[in-house]
Amino acid sequence: MARVIPTRDPTPASLEECIEALTTWGFDPYEEESVSHAANWLQRLGNDAHFLGDALVDLLAGRSGGGDGPAFRGWGPNSMLLARPRQGNFAIGAEILPSASEHVLRASGPRALGYGVVHNHNYDFLTLGYFGPGCRIDDYEFDIERSESHLDAAVMLRPVGRSRLKPGRLVHYRARRDVHCQHPPDALSVSLTLSHAHGAQGWTDQNTFVPIEGSVGGFRIASVAGHGPSETFLRVAVALGSEEAGELARHFGKRHPSDRMRLTAWRALAGAAPDREGRDAIWSEAEAAGSRAVAAVAKLRKG
């Protein structure tokens, strides 16, 4: 489940100091020492009550993005990127969280700002309450090892409670496993986020979930995001008839860490089969290839 990290260091740090420390040491969410180091620097950044206001003024005045310092830019309808990934493993952002009474929420609707959407992410991140009362968050845990992960799959999410991301509260969310749903705060609030960035994230999914009516804890996967161009490249290569592409597709279908990429590989092979019998043989092979998600689709595709 998402883990609350105690905050103890009252000293502030500038954004430049935070970026330098993280660039030097990196952020590896699978190493506890690295998580502790990154959390401490995010907390120290959060202890600076003025840096974000200054950054917003620079952004609005067109003074950001020059030289070797931080480059500020919009990062979604209510987010801004404070530091681009360096050495490929982290990014720092700020999320502006309007209350239900503010015009931007009434104009855009809550879902456009991420409210009321049960979702996970395909990367680990640390989030820190920075300003205002903080949004309310419903937390769930998703057993990805025992669950199917394709569109419309029925899954069980274990609720682990509701909390408020008040200033100073620091939480570590794990990639894909920790699911959450944000609700508007009572007043304008801001949170800071330190995200893990790695090229392999493009191979894994992130999902949104909707409750199944009449079910206790039952949800359905409503959307799957994270698609990259490699899937299209593989399908084109197999369709063009390359023997090497077929071998690569079989290797991906059996061993790739992403269920989505495995399914793409089998679909490409089935699409290149000369007849229905050949397609059924491909899907039978896919069904026994070790992925529950692929097996479920293969059963439907055979015949």
Q: State yes or no: pLDDT of 68 exceeds 50.
A: no
Q: State yes or no: pLDDT of 33 exceeds 90.
A: yes
Q: State yes or no: pLDDT of 66 exceeds 70.
A: no
User: What distance, in Å, lies between the first and last C-alpha atoms of the chain?
Assistant: 41
- Write out the two tokens for 73: 């830019």
Tell me the per-residue pLDDT of 218-251, one tens digit each, with 9 for 90 and over.
999 999 886 667 788 888 999 998 889 999 999 9
Q: Rounded distance, CA 278 to CA 258, Å?
A: 25
- Bridge partner list, 4: 171
Q: Rounded distance, CA 135 to CA 299, Å?
A: 43
Q: Rounded distance, CA 34 to CA 40, Å?
A: 10
Query: Could you give the percent of the chain with pLDDT greater than 90?
Result: 60
CB atoms within 10 A of CB 101: 11
Q: Rounded distance, CA 23 to CA 47, Å?
A: 20
Instruction: Answer for the pair 127, 163: CB distance below 8 angstroms, yes or no.
Output: no
What's the CATH fold of domain 3-225?
Jelly Rolls (2.60.120)
Our CA dihedral for 52, 33, 89, 164, rounded to 10 degrees, sits at: -40
Q: What is the model's pLDDT at position 34? A: 96
Q: Rounded distance, CA 70 to CA 80, Å?
A: 12
137-154 b/e (C-beta count within 10 Å ≥ 16 → b): bbbbbbebeebbbbeebe
In terms of pTM, does the model score above 0.95? no
SS3 275: coil
The DSSP annotation for 15-51 comes to: HHHHHHHHHHH---TTSHHHHHHHHHHHHHHHT-SSH
SS3 127: strand
Q: Rounded distance, CA 12 to CA 17, Å?
A: 10
What is the pLDDT averaged over residues 48-55?
91
How high does pLDDT run on average in the chain? 88
Tell me the per-residue pLDDT of 142-191, one tens digit each, with 9 for 90 and over.
988 777 777 888 999 999 999 999 999 999 999 999 999 999 999 999 99
Q: What is the model's pLDDT at position 280? A: 94
Distance of CA 218 to the CA centre of its chain: 21
CATH 2.60.120.10 in the chain: give the residue spans. 3-225
Q: State yes or no: pLDDT of 67 exceeds 50.
A: no
Strands 170-173 and 125-131: antiparallel
What is the pLDDT averaged over residues 35-58?
93
Instruction: Answer for the pair 98, 207: CB distance below 8 angstroms, yes or no.
Output: no
What is the pLDDT averaged over residues 102-122?
90
Q: What is the model's pLDDT at position 151? A: 82
Residues in CB range of 104: below 8 A, 6 or more apart: 78, 98, 113
